[in-house]
């Protein structure tokens, strides 16, 4: 049976997809096979069972890897280097310390939530948490409150920035697969993320802080506070972080407002995501690196080391692109599209459900985003949807990939060990917080999609 005949047999296509996805999940969950290998094997299995000619499967693999990587490789690399400079310079601490001063101890939870949100955009979640958690403990020690009162808002902010707002890799890879401008993704992500941070951060953190008393871990109880005299300037940090966001948004705005169309050629170039992020990275090298005593050689080592984790992100994402193209070329995208139409299920809702199911089964937010984006991108007519609706779909995928963090998520164990909780309390606090982040972000995205 050739691909055209397979495309006329929806039952075989659905069976192929189910078997392929089951193989993928079993390899990851049961046999602990690396996600990249598992996704690739699952995608190839779908193609073979669906009856795709071998040459078509090879074409889908090549197109999936090439078309996916060309959209995100530079952004993930530049974002990693940008975040590394922000980390070593003390920029993250500057934001946190200054925000806490402005808000005061009574509203410090809000300051930590906002700081976490901003920091997680250029800095990986794990790094941001390790850098900033001592400040949460310091506040808990000073106010004699449960450390959850401050840790949960910080974690919520970090989770929001990590999931919803570029230049963090997750929404970039989803936006690339759905072919939506990052300017729209940033605007929708900020709307979804802000409300999600409030609900899951200060609000839920206050509940957790009153209900569960978690003392400051002994190994950090006697740490000294930050030496603020050695930290970089607050406004310099804010300005540098805003550079890529503002340029990308201006590119989108000047493209849709006729009165500003004369600026489009300029911001069309400066707002190109890799150009905007390159400008921010070079600015950070100068203002946060060279001016703070780092030599070019030291910066080169720091930036090179920051690229080590990007290989895994890029390869997993590329294999998600393979899954997308196999689903599309096999004809399964048409089947999914017809099924969605018959159920009258909005694509935004479908995107959230698919990402949430994968997240619950696999644990990895990156894998959940990758698989969900691949499935949604294969649905016919996606390219015809408005940029705003596609940005809402991107946020829905991010929300689904955030909910229900539990034992199969590395973030669960990192938070448990750093905050000093047992598994049961981590489920009652962190897992609910992650679900509030993803669920609230999805609801906001769904509401916005009604106006798209």
pLDDT 10s digits, 269-305? 998 888 999 999 999 999 999 988 899 999 999 999 9
% of the chain surpassing 70 pLDDT: 94
Q: What is the pLDDT of residue 217?
A: 77
Q: What is the pLDDT of residue 226?
A: 54
More confident residue, 66 or 105: 66
* Range of weakest confidence among 9-18, 212-221, 408-417: 212-221
> Is the peptide bond prior to 167 cis by the omega test (within 30 degrees of 0)?
yes
Indicate if the pLDDT at residue 77 is higher than 80: yes
Indicate if the pLDDT at residue 6 is higher than 50: no
Neighbours of 279 (CB within 10 A): 16
Q: What is the pLDDT of residue 173?
A: 87
Angle between helical axes of 204-211 and 432-449 (0-180°, round to 10) = 160
- Tell me the average pLDDT across 404-422: 86
For residue 232, is it left (φ>0), alpha (ψ between -120 and 50) or beta?
A: beta
| 51 touches 1 (CB < 8 A) | yes
Cα–Cα distance, 386 to 392 (Å, whole number): 10
Indicate if the pLDDT at residue 3 is higher than 50: no
* Range of weakest confidence among 171-180, 184-193, 356-365: 356-365
Q: What is the pLDDT of residue 427?
A: 92
Residue 379: which pLDDT band, with cuts at 50, 70 and 90? confident
More confident residue, 380 or 214: 214
Cα–Cα distance, 305 to 26 (Å, whole number): 33
Residue 160: which pLDDT band, with cuts at 50, 70 and 90? very high
% of the chain surpassing 90 pLDDT: 42
Indicate if the pLDDT at residue 67 is higher than 90: no
| 38 touches 24 (CB < 8 A) | yes
Average pLDDT, the chain: 87
Indicate if the pLDDT at residue 312 is higher than 80: no
- Tell me the average pLDDT across 237-250: 90
* Range of weakest confidence among 181-195, 215-229, 373-387: 215-229
Six token digits for residue 415: 């938070």
Neighbours of 451 (CB within 10 A): 9
Q: What is the pLDDT of residue 435?
A: 97
Q: What is the pLDDT of residue 337?
A: 66
């Amino acid at each position: 049976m050739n691909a055209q005949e397979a495309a006329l047999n929806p039952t075989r296509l659905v069976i192929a997809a189910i078997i392929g996805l089951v193989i993928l999940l079993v390899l990851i969950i049961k046999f602990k096979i690396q996600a990249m290998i598992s996704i690739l094997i699952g995608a190839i299995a779908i193609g073979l069972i669906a009856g795709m000619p071998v040459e078509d499967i090879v074409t889908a693999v090549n197109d999936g890897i090439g078309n996916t990587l060309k959209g995100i490789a530079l952004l993930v690399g530049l974002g990693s280097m940008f975040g590394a400079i922000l980390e070593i310079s003390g920029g993250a601490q500057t934001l946190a310390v200054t925000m806490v001063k402005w808000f005061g101890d009574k509203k410090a939870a809000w300051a930590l939530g906002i700081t976490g949100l901003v920091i997680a955009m250029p800095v990986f979640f794990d790094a941001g948490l390790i850098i900033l958690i001592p400040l949460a403990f310091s506040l808990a020690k000073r106010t004699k409150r449960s450390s959850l009162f401050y840790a949960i808002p910080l974690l919520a902010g970090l989770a929001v920035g990590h999931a919803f707002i570029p230049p963090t890799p997750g929404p970039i890879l989803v936006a690339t697969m759905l072919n939506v401008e990052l300017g729209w993704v940033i605007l929708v992500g900020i709307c979804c993320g802000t409300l999600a941070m409030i609900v899951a951060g200060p609000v839920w953190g206050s509940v957790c802080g009153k209900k569960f008393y978690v003392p400051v871990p002994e190994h950090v109880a006697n740490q000294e506070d930050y030496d603020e005299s050695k930290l970089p300037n607050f406004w310099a940090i804010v300005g540098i972080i805003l550079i890529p966001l503002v340029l990308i948004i201006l590119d989108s705005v000047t493209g849709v407002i006729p009165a500003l169309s004369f600026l489009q050629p300029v911001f069309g170039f400066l707002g190109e995501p890799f150009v905007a992020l390159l400008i921010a990275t070079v600015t950070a090298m100068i203002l946060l690196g060279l001016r703070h005593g780092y030599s070019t050689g030291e910066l080169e080592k720091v930036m090179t080391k920051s690229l080590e984790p990007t290989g895994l992100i890029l390869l997993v994402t590329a294999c998600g692109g393979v899954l997308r193209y196999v689903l599309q070329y096999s004809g399964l995208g048409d089947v999914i599209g017809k099924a969605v139409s018959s159920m009258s299920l909005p694509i935004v809702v479908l995107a959230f459900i698919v990402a949430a199911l994968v997240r619950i089964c696999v644990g990895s937010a990156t894998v959940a985003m990758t698989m969900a984006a691949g499935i949604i991108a294969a649905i016919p007519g996606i390219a015809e949807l408005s940029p705003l609706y596609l940005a809402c779909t991107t946020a829905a995928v991010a929300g689904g990939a955030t909910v229900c963090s539990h034992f199969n998520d590395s973030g669960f164990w990192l938070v448990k060990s750093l905050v000093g909780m047992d598994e049961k309390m981590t489920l009652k606090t962190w897992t609910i917080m992650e679900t509030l982040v993803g669920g609230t972000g999805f609801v906001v995205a769904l509401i916005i999609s009604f106006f798209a």
